[in-house]
Structure formats: C-alpha cells, structure tokens
Structure 1
Amino acid sequence: MIGSIELGLLYGVVALGVFLTFRVLNFPDLTVDGSFTTGAAVAAAMIVNGQSPVLATVAGGGAGLVAGIVTGILHTKGRIDGLLAGILTMIALWSVNLRIMGSSNVSLLREDTLFTPLREAQWLGRTWWAVLLLLGFLLVLTLLVDWFLSTDLGLAIQATGNNAQMIRSLGVNTDNTKILTLALSNGLVGLGGAMVAQYQGFSDISMGIGLILVGLASVILGQAIVGQRFLFQATIAVVVGAVLYRLIVFGALRAGLDPNDMKAITAILVVAALLLPRWGFLKRVPSLRTRGGRVPPREPAPDPVSEIDAEANATAVPADPPAAAATPPTKAGG
C-alpha cells in the first residue's frame, strides 16, 4: 500500500500537467502519451551514460517541454486541430524515444538514481518517510503552479481557456499563451516520466500508452471528491485523485483482477467520475457542499422596488406639524 501511495504521488506530477491543458486551457492534448516516455527515455539514457540523476531528471522535464512546444506550434501556427496536433507529436515521439534509448527499454537497476539513497536507507516502499518526502516535493510544485496561475500571465492563460475571443480583444496573444501552457504541461509530464522511470528501475517504450486516461482519471476523480471552487483546492484535488487512483488499482489487483484489465478499469473510473455528479450522487456528499455538511437556506432575492421605497422613506424629511388654530383675542374687561 505504501508503494502505491508513493507511485501515486509521482503520477501526481503528471496529473498537474494534464490539469493545465484539460482544465485550465481546455485543450485535449494527447502529446502526454509520448512526452511521458520521452522524459523517462532522456533520464534513463543520461543516467546510464554516467550523468547526475538530478541533471537527468531536469533534462527529462526539458524534453517534455520541447514536445509541448512542437504541439503548440502545430496547432497555433500550422492551424492544425488541437487533437490532431497532439496525435501527430505523440506518433513522432515514438521514433524519437527509440532513438534516444537505443532499444525498446533501458534498465536502471544497477545505476544510481534519485531514489537510491531512499532504497539504501530502506525507506522506499516500507516506511512513511519516503511518502512524506514525495508529498513535500509535490506540495511545493503545487504551490508553484498556483502562484504562476495567479500572476498576470497565468490569468491570461486562464482567460484563454475560458474565452479566447474575449481575451484576444484585450490585446493578449492567445497563440503564445497556448504554446506556453502546452510547454509547461508536457514539461511536468516529462518530469513525472523521468521520476517514474527511476522509481521503477527501467524505461520502456510503451510505458506512456494510455497515460492521458490515467491523468484524466486523476483530475476528474479528485475534483469530483474534493471540489474545484478555488485554485488551490483544484490543484490539491488533482494530487488526491492521483493517489486515490493508484490505491484503486492496488485494491483491484489485490482482489484478484487481471493486470491486463487495468486500462478498462481506468476507463470505467473516468466514466463514473463524469456521470455520478450529473446523476446527483456526489451532490449529497457533505464535504462537496459546505464545510459543516449543511446547505444554508437560500435567502429570497430582494425586491428592488421595495428597497427603493424603504430607502426613500428612510431619507425623507418629515413635514412640519400643522400650526394650531389661532384663537381670537379677548377684550380686556369685556
């Protein structure tokens, strides 16, 4: 179970990248299936050739970033449909990844990786210390994403996903914001691929197949449970969804299901996370509605005419009281 949580936290990096394109930019990017393997391939090739694991991990993220730029240029400058642009880049990356690795897989079992100190200390997969370290790294990465999306450039990216025509009318170059978002998204995916390869001890050409479904399952499942009302809540939900997804897979395998059925299980999870909120099932969960579990009663909408009358009565100057009727003077001694 601890190993599943650790792997879920690593896939949380990938889920953050999918969140940027799927939720923020509203872009169906299939490049992640290839950029994930690209990050793993670059990191594995550099480690086998004697490079530092830290440098190899950063290079893996950079390779994913370049893949995202290619997709962005195909879509914005080449005017190719976003879905097709991602598919084209993903297919091209298959050959690129084979060239990088030199074979269909590369073993890292005898090499020093980022996780070698944790394995030597017998923390990895056995104690909660490795979980805490990975959780701390992922929280820092989440805070960086939140900070970036709160800047002027990040707000322009969010506006591009919400209403590209409106933000374009304000002078923002939406082509640049799309390219930047796709680059950052696939950079995170490549970074996650480099870390997953070092954690598992190998890089394989097919390790990224169906990854977009895993990322979508993490995003949709997490936000269906935690919510997405605030930006920080939405990004934390992505991390929770990634861990929860790995725990569901762990439980399915422990229950005796065939590992070959995992893709079908993932598809069922995504469908369930999409349909259950529409059917009203998850709307009854207290944590999704209010903090205290109760929905406050809605106050009736104020009547504008009544408000105007009340304001007029409050500010009106009271009229002077009527003067008393004058009495005729009486004659003295009369």
Structure 2
Amino acid sequence: MLTAMLGAVSQGILWGIMVLGVFITYKLLDIPDLTVDGSFATGGAVCAVLVVAGVNPALAIVAAMAAGAVAGAVTGFLTTVFEIPAILSGILTQISLWSINLRIMGKSNTPLLTSDTVFSQLGNATGLTSNVCAIIVGLIVAVVIVAGLYWFFGTEIGSVLRATGNNEAMIRALGVNTNRTKMLALILSNALVGLSGGLICEQQKYADIGMGTGAIVIGLAAIVIGEVLGRLLPGGLSKFGARLVSAVAGSVVYFLIRAIVLQMGMDANDMKLLSAIIVALALCVPVVWERIQRRRSYSKGGEQ
C-alpha cells in the first residue's frame, strides 16, 4: 500500500508539471488546448529516442521540452495567422502529432530498460528507491518551474498575457498584439507539457504512442481539484502563486485517488470512467458549495 501511495505521489508531481502547462492556456487564456494529448507524447518520444541513442538523460528532457514548444507554436500559428478556432487548431495539431510521434520512434513504443535516466542515476548515487528518486526530482523541477512562472507572470509581458485572457478587447484597445501573447502562451504551455512527457518517459522507462491520451482530462481534473482544495484554505486562492501550487497539489490528489481506488479492487479498464467522474465531481462541488453559501447568506439576512 505504501509503495502504491509513493508511486501515486511521484506520478502526481511529474504530471503536475503538465498540469501547469494546461493551467496557462485553460485558466489564464480560457483556451482548452487539445494539443496537450499530442505534445505530451511528443516529449516522451523525443526523450526516449535520444536516451536510447546515448544522449545525456538531462539533455534529452530539455529536448523534449523544446519539442513540446514547437508543437505549441504550430497550434499558435494556426490560431493566430489563419484564425482557425483554438480548439480546432489543437485538434489538428494533436492528430498530426500521432503520425509524427510514430516517425520519431519508428514504432509504437520505445523501451529504456537498459538505458540510464536521471532517476536511475540519482538512485545509483544515493541508494534511494525509484519512487523516492522520482519524488525528489519532480519536486525540484516543480519548485523551479512554479518559481519561474510566478516571476514571469509578474513581468510586463506576463501581466499582458494574463490580461489578454481577462479582457482581450481592452488589451487590443491599448495597442497590444494579442496574437503574440496567445502564441507565447501556447508555446510556453506545451513546452511544460513536453517536459512532463520526457520526465514521465524516463520515470516509467518507456515511451508509448498513446501515453498522452487523456492528458487534457487529467490536467483539467487536477486544476479543478486544486481549486476546490484551495478554497478550503484560509484566504483561498487570492494569490497567483497559490494557484500555481494548487495545480500541482491537485495533480497529486488526483493520482492518490486513482491509486486508492485501484487498491480497493477497481478494474484498471474503468480508469477512464473514473477520470470522467472525478472531473464531473470536481466541477460540480464548487457550484453546489456556492449555492449553499448563497442560501446561508440569504437566511442570515432574513433573520436580521
């Protein structure tokens, strides 16, 4: 049971980096970017091929991040230059990446069983288990990325990006090219998704053509779960940094829920159904909670 929980935490942290990418497009720009399912697998495919070829595992992860950024740029190009709706642009890129990922790997999956990874290198140096190594590496990367995003979105260009999602018409009236901010957001988002795909690839010791399937659902579930948890904390999610941390925390909680349900004997084939139920519940809970709070405020007003 403990091993399963540690595995869930490590998976949650590594996938949490992908969730941060989804957070940028979904929460800041209000764009449901479906490129994620493809760019996640692209990051894993690029990382796997390079590691098998003998490239340093850390450099392979950086290359995975770059590959994700290129995928995001393609979606951004379709959206901003040709004015194709963002959701359709993401679908087109995602479909294209399926064939591209097969071309990159040359087959449907690439094992790394005999190759060194950043996790195996840390394990050999410290003697720690694979799950603990994954947690350590994941935490280091996640902390660096959260700190970097917090700094970036506090800069002028980062503030413009956030404002584009809040009121695009107003930002355009101020003379800002919103197409550039959308392009930047999609590149940054998918770069993080590709980075997560590379880390997951090295952690699970293989890359698979279908490893990104359902990634967007996991990302949305984690974001909503994180927001629900954040609202229960004193002060809620009033600060941007807290929202970033809650996205990663939501990913960990999501994978813990999955691990607990599997330990209880649920068929692994039903995991997609479970994911959909978790997302639905996470979306419904805030609405129900708000209605309860509203009714309480009305009843208190009537008493007065």
For the pair 1:270 / 2:265, whether they are aligned, the reply is no
Structure 2 CA distance for aligned equivalents of residues 171 and 86 of structure 1: 27
Equivalent residue, structure 1, for 2:33: 29
Deviation at 1:281, TM superposition (A): 7.3
Which amino acid in 2 is paired with 1:9? I
Alignment of 1:1-334 (within 5 A): 1-120=5-124, 121-125=126-130, 127=132, 131-227=135-231, 228-280=237-289
Q: Which runs of 5+ in 1 are unaligned?
A: 285-296, 299-334
For the Cα contact (< 8 Å) 1:224–1:282, is it kept in 2? Answer: no
Structure 1 CA distance for aligned equivalents of residues 292 and 113 of structure 2: 47
**More helix, by proportion:** 2
Structure 2 CA distance for aligned equivalents of residues 110 and 274 of structure 1: 43
For the Cα contact (< 8 Å) 1:75–1:81, is it kept in 2? Answer: yes
Structure 2 length-normalised TM: 0.90
Q: Deviations over 1:165-221 (max 9, x none)?
A: 100010110000000000000000000000000000000000111110001111111
Aligned-pair RMSD on alpha carbons?
1.7
Q: Deviations over 1:141-164 (max 9, x none)?
A: 101011111110011001110111
Query: How many pairs does the alignment contain?
Result: 285
- Secondary structure at the counterpart of residue 115 of structure 1: helix
Change (3 A) 1:38 1:130: closer
Change (3 A) 1:36 1:211: same
Which amino acid in 2 is paired with 1:194? G
Change (3 A) 1:30 1:64: same
Structure 1 CA distance for aligned equivalents of residues 26 and 79 of structure 2: 16
Change (3 A) 1:265 1:122: farther
Structure 2 CA distance for aligned equivalents of residues 266 and 122 of structure 1: 35
Which amino acid in 2 is paired with 1:138? A
Equivalent residue, structure 2, for 1:287: none
Structure 2 CA distance for aligned equivalents of residues 256 and 122 of structure 1: 32
Indicate the larger mover: 221-230 or 202-211: 221-230
Which amino acid in 2 is paired with 1:184? L
Deviation at 1:133, TM superposition (A): 4.3
- Secondary structure at the counterpart of residue 115 of structure 2: coil
- Aligned-residue sequence identity (percent) comes to 45
- Secondary structure at the counterpart of residue 226 of structure 1: helix
Which amino acid in 2 is paired with 1:261? D
Larger radius of gyration: 1
Structure 1 CA distance for aligned equivalents of residues 252 and 291 of structure 2: 19
Structure 1 CA distance for aligned equivalents of residues 131 and 277 of structure 2: 31
Structure 1 CA distance for aligned equivalents of residues 255 and 20 of structure 2: 15
Change (3 A) 1:26 1:281: closer
Which amino acid in 1 is paired with 2:94? M
Deviation at 1:229, TM superposition (A): 1.7
Q: Which runs of 5+ in 2 are unaligned?
A: 232-236, 294-299
**After the TM superposition, which parts of structure 1 deviate over 6 Å for at least 4 consecutive aligned residues?**
281-284
